Amino acid sequence: MPDATAIAITRRQGLLALALLGPVGVLAACSSSPDPSPAGSSASASLAPADASAQHETELIALYDAVLDAYPDLEPETITVLTTLRDQHGQHRDALGGSPDATAKATAPENATAALAALVSAEHVASRERIRACIDSPDAETARLLALIGAAEAAHVPALRDLRT
Amino acid sequence: MNATEAWAAVVTGEDAAIYAYSVAGAQVAAGSRQRAVAGLTAHQSNRSRAAALITELGDDPPPAAAGYVLPADIATAKVARATMAGVDNALVAIYADAAAASGADIRRWAARTAAEYAVRAIGWGADPQAFPAGPASAQ
């Protein structure tokens, strides 16, 4: 018979270790992963996946902004969710080393239903491209960050699905 | 973190998830039972695959713990759902570590599994997280 105390400790280490995994490790990844490239023309190939992904995040933010601007009369809960998801893309952009001052053009679809569908579609594409960039990344920390962002964006799809206009 | 360590963390996390799903999955309403069974099956299958990877790397997979501490009120459907959301989101971060520690083919699987689990957590009622990492925003 295993010692009961030993089992209790093992149990405690088990789910608690998993459940208490806080955002600390993620924040560490965010602060270290963009690895700003040195000044000059030495823009390394290893940063390319992060750069392209950061630009794509800026485009997603522009699309959310265009939808929020065009349809201020959406259900309040819908606006709250859209604002949250938009802000998460801002965190993705920042973590990937993108500038908050970067801009992109986006046009809201012609009605609110089409606008929500366009966001779902954009999140699908974003998740797929982040995972592709993760696979292609020669840098492990960037790969880790892109895997997390790809997962977050995959989760945006069901978060958008049940929203009412 | 090297590949063996990263995949050992996956196996340990999957063992905890299998335990959590086995207990919590029985507490949800009938309409969610299919989701719980699908999640349990995914965790079991991915645990096996991760353990096989460690063996290929020349090491032994970590053993499962005898049991795990679950919330005292796990018998309520709400807590059961939040528990499954929490383990799924925690595994997202663990698979992202494993993706980073692996070559392209394995990394593809790890990144796709991370995305699958993040989606699963939303299905259990979790709020979306910018960097999925655990139970913090599970409702």
Instruction: Look up the CATH number of the domain holding residue B107.
Output: 1.20.1260.10
Q: In order of start, what are the domains of chain A with their CATH numbers?
A: 45-161 (1.20.1260.10)
A92 interaction partners in chain B (CB closer than 8 Å): 130
- Asked if residue B78 is part of any domain, the answer here is yes
- Asked if residue B131 is part of any domain, the answer here is no
Range of B73's domain? 3-123
Closest chain B CA to residue A7: B66
- Kindly report, residue by residue over A107-135, the tens digit of the pLDDT: 999 999 999 999 999 999 999 999 999 99
- Asked if residue B77 is part of any domain, the answer here is yes
- Asked if residue B129 is part of any domain, the answer here is no
Q: Which pLDDT band, with edges at 50, 70 and 90, does A8 fall under?
A: very low
- Please state the φ and ψ torsions of residue A37, each to the nearest 5 degrees: -75, 150
Do residue A154 and residue B108 have CB atoms under 8 angstroms apart? no
Q: Is the pLDDT of residue A17 over 50?
A: no
Please state, rounded to an integer, the average pLDDT across all residues of chain B.
93
- Kindly report, residue by residue over A29-52, the tens digit of the pLDDT: 333 333 333 333 334 444 577 899
Output the pLDDT for position A18: 54
Minimal CA separation from A142 to chain B, in Å: 8
- Specify the length of chain B in residues: 139
B30 to chain A, any CB pair closer than 8 A? The answer is no
B107 interaction partners in chain A (CB closer than 8 Å): 134-135, 143, 147
**Which residue's entry shows tokens 């920042």?**
A94
Q: How many domains does chain B fold into?
A: 1
Do residue B115 and residue A131 have CB atoms under 8 angstroms apart? yes
Which tokens go with B102? 């692996």
- Kindly report, residue by residue over A50-93, the tens digit of the pLDDT: 899 999 999 999 999 999 999 999 999 999 999 999 999 999 99
Burial class (CB in 10 A: 0-12, 13-18, 19+), A35: middle
Do residue A15 and residue B115 have CB atoms under 8 angstroms apart? no
Contacts by residues B46-50 (CB-CB < 8 Å, ≥ 24 positions apart): B46/B10, B46/B14, B46/B113, B47/B10, B47/B11, B47/B14, B47/B15, B47/B18, B49/B109, B50/B7, B50/B10, B50/B11, B50/B14, B50/B98
- Asked if residue B138 is part of any domain, the answer here is no
What percent of the residues of chain B are helix, what percent strand, and what percent coil, each to the nearest 5?
70, 0, 30
Minimal CA separation from B134 to chain A, in Å: 6
B85 to chain A, any CB pair closer than 8 A? The answer is no
